[in-house]
Amino acid sequence: MDNDVDVIFGYPGGSVLPIFDSLYEMNPSFKNYLCRHEQGLIHAAEGYARVTGKTGVVLATSGPGITNLLTGIADAMLDSLPLVVIAGQVSSAVIGTDAFQEADVIGLTTPISKHNYQIKNVADIPRIMNEAFHIASSGRKGPVVIDIPKNISEALVEGDYSGDFHLAGYQPTTQPNAGQIERVLEALLQAEKPVLLAGAGVHFAKANEELLTFLDRYPMPVVNTLQGIGALPGSHRLSLGMGGMHGSYASNQAIINADLLINIGSRFDDRLTGKLSEFSPHSKVVHIDIDPAEIGKNIKVDIPVVSDAKLALEALLEADAVQVDYSDWIDHCLAKKEDKPFWYYNYDQLISPQWFIEKVSQKTNHQAIVITDVGQHQMWAAQFYCQDKPLSFVSSGGLGTMGFGLPAAIGAQIGRPDETVALFVGDGGYQMTIQELATIKQYNLPVKIFILNNETLGMVRQWQELLYDEHYSESLFNDGKNPDFVKIADGYGIKGMQISQESIVDEALEEVFAYDGPVVVEVMIPMKEKVFPMVPAGKGNGEMTGVKPI
């Protein structure tokens, strides 16, 4: 509570029963949400953290409790999400004896967490808790794990509760260097073809307004990463959309031909860059990032700026403006966007998934909090849901975790209860955490769930078709291998429906968004539909296939 926490996601077990007993006394001012699996807990906490900007808190028991959290910890680490994960542990006296439900939490989480602790003295709890929240939410955000042996959680703290701490070895740089800011301004003055790349760091720093002001002063084409969706409104005139493997032709061409690339808060992930030597070969590169370890890691950087994105943009705006005019370059990039937009086939009766997502975008006036799982639908949502709001597109980017979507939608709806949450999920990923429908029902969370059902692991199937001679090895769920998703929803007490024809989509969406409660909508889509355009693995972004035919 001292760290502004009033919501946690926890699942009880023997080693954490003393903590849950204390929570019992604190309800309802301090609310625990019980998911149905520990993986559900941590993805829910990720969704909560992503849409609120607050630290998500997870509580699970020892042994299988903590091992079921590992995927989510790794996921949060790669996507820089602030979490404090509290794991129960067997009593101190039996640690190292292969005791019942014992797991080496420190050993398991060291490579996938920002930091971890094992508490050995009950008096250390206040300090360690405060340190954990500070580390998770400062600098480059990330998950921090606290391992608490049962005898420690049963003990009483006596004396100082203040939890004061001083971390001499952890002092993240947040303020930009004045000399670096001056060099960025000089680069802006010299550039003729600049591009701004907006990543998740813009969201995390809550720098969206500053980004808009910067673009008012220095208008230039903007490309976003997957996690940077919504950093600039998707309908903004200067937005070229997502770059990279399944990004827009205009975005990739703009980066390839730029003479100045300003990256704010993106780590140059390989799904964005493609073949590194062909990514942006003619540009001077500015990289603004709060994590100095990311600067120069993948791409040679000419002007490094170690800083919080908001503070860097403020510093650029406080400096005297330099006079620039990139209008010819902007017109050139916008013409590419107009000529080669994202596209899809229209079918006579079957539902094009891209068309359906556009329909949802229009129906929600581009204002819903969009959650995705991982796969084809994830890329279609990134391409065709025009997201205008910051902190409102939630997806597993770095780890690419199937099963992420449904519990992340739970956390997002809890974090922003008054807003519409729309989940796009494939029939594969949906079944990985399908038991969380019980959580949605228990708390009556009005999540709108759209299962884009192509009866296959769509992205796997696409790669098998294009790269493995159509050897569909273990990727097909057709011929009755999928369950009846409408009946399953009904079994959990949730409204369900199936849509298989375009002609009823408008009416169905009207009903879905008018309904005061959760809805599961199974949308039948063509099995062979692909995600285009696409940069083949190992190729440069100039070698896209499936660009809109002339």
Q: Catalytic site residues?
A: 38, 100-101, 150, 459
Token reading at 145: 């794990």
Classified as helix, coil or strand, 261 is: strand
What are the helix and strand counts (H, E) for the chain? 22, 18
The pairing of strands 143-149 and 56-60 is unpaired
Given phi > 0 = left and psi -120 to 50 = alpha, else beta, which region is 177? beta
Helix axes 505-514, 353-363, angle to 10 degrees: 40
Shortest CA distance to 63 belongs to which of 86, 44, 88? 88
As a whole number of angstroms, the distance between CA 432 and CA 32 comes to: 23
User: Could you give the strand order of the β-sheet that contains 495-499, starting from the edge strand earlier in sequence?
Assistant: 393-394, 369-372, 421-426, 448-453, 519-524, 495-499
Residue 197, φ and ψ in degrees, nearest 5: -105, 115
CB 67 within 8 A of CB 98: no
Between the two ends of the chain, the Cα-to-Cα distance in Å is 59
Classified as helix, coil or strand, 442 is: helix
Q: Which residues pair with 116 in a beta bridge?
A: 145
Q: What letter would DSSP give residue 33?
A: E
Q: What letter would DSSP give residue 545?
A: B
Token reading at 384: 């065709």
Place of tokens 């910890």: 73
Classified as helix, coil or strand, 377 is: helix
- The type of residue at 373 is D
CB 500 within 8 A of CB 427: no
Q: Which parts of 184-225 are beta strand (E)?
A: 194-198, 222-224
C-alpha distances in angstroms, 441 versus 130, 205, 422, 491? 34, 34, 16, 11
Shortest CA distance to 301 belongs to which of 318, 279, 330? 279
Token reading at 438: 């019980």
C-alpha distances in angstroms, 224 versus 55, 209, 258, 284, 429? 24, 16, 15, 18, 25
Residue 199, φ and ψ in degrees, nearest 5: -115, -170
As a whole number of angstroms, the distance between CA 530 and CA 541 comes to: 18
Residue 449, φ and ψ in degrees, nearest 5: -105, 120
Question: Alpha carbon 424 to chain centroid distance?
Answer: 14
Q: Which parts of 69-125 are beta strand (E)?
A: 83-89, 115-118
Q: Is the dihedral of CA 266, 268, 274, 279 positive or negative?
A: positive
